[in-house]
Amino acid sequence: MSNLAKRVRLFIALILLWVPTHIAYGEQTIPTSDAPVELSAIENFEQVGTAQMKWLWLKIYQATLLTPSGTYQANQWPIALELLYQQNITAQQLIKSTEKDWKRQNIDYSAKWITALEKMWPDISTQDQLTLYVDADSTSHFFYNGQFIGSILDPLFSVAFTAIWLSNNTIKPAQRNQLIGINP
């Protein structure tokens, strides 16, 4: 190899080190979708369980887990999780709470998931319902009061998000048991 070719390769390598990674390789994003999905996909699902979520003495929301068979198996899709809120909660509070639960459970989450949720989730008022429907392909679809608001196509998100309520490491094990159909 000629001396000039070595210098050119070294110069190119140094340039690539200085160029931000997202420019050199293309910025990686979490695949999301605004293509509408119908909530009717869960019409024939059966209730697995329901649980009241509280913080101290305040009722925060009523959670209901649904599956096609009415039974729960970890990370088996499709499932639906319905949250009927009993308090006003800002979208930012919901996102902070989600991130806090992921950190507490040592779940490896992507900051891009947070960005996707910030674009998707609205502020919540009393009696609003937020529904997660995870389809057979592990895509997470969100609905606000029955209206589609967006999807996150990353299958790792589905596992991480449902873990907040359904993992053995949840902060509310009694409510988890109620949700998955185990009486405490």
pLDDT tens profile 9-48 = 433 333 333 333 333 333 344 556 566 677 888 889 999 9
For residue 39, the domain's CATH number is 3.50.70.10
Between helix 91-104 and helix 111-120 the angle, nearest 10°, is 160
Question: What would the pLDDT profile of 106-161 be if each residue is shown by its tens digit?
Answer: 999 999 999 999 999 999 999 999 999 999 999 999 999 999 999 999 999 999 99
Sheet of 32-33, strand order: 32-33, 147-152, 140-144, 129-134, 79-85, 58-67, 46-55
pLDDT at residue 40, rounded to an integer: 80
Domain that holds residue 112: 33-179
- Look at the chain and report how many structural domains it folds into: 1
Task: Lowest mean pLDDT of 24-38, 84-98, 122-136, 168-182, name the range.
Answer: 24-38
Q: How far is CA 116 from CA 2, 106, 148, 149, 179, in A?
A: 50, 20, 15, 11, 26
54 falls within a domain: yes
8 falls within a domain: no
19 falls within a domain: no
21 falls within a domain: no
167 falls within a domain: yes
The pTM of the full predicted model, rounded to 2 decimals, is 0.80
28 falls within a domain: no
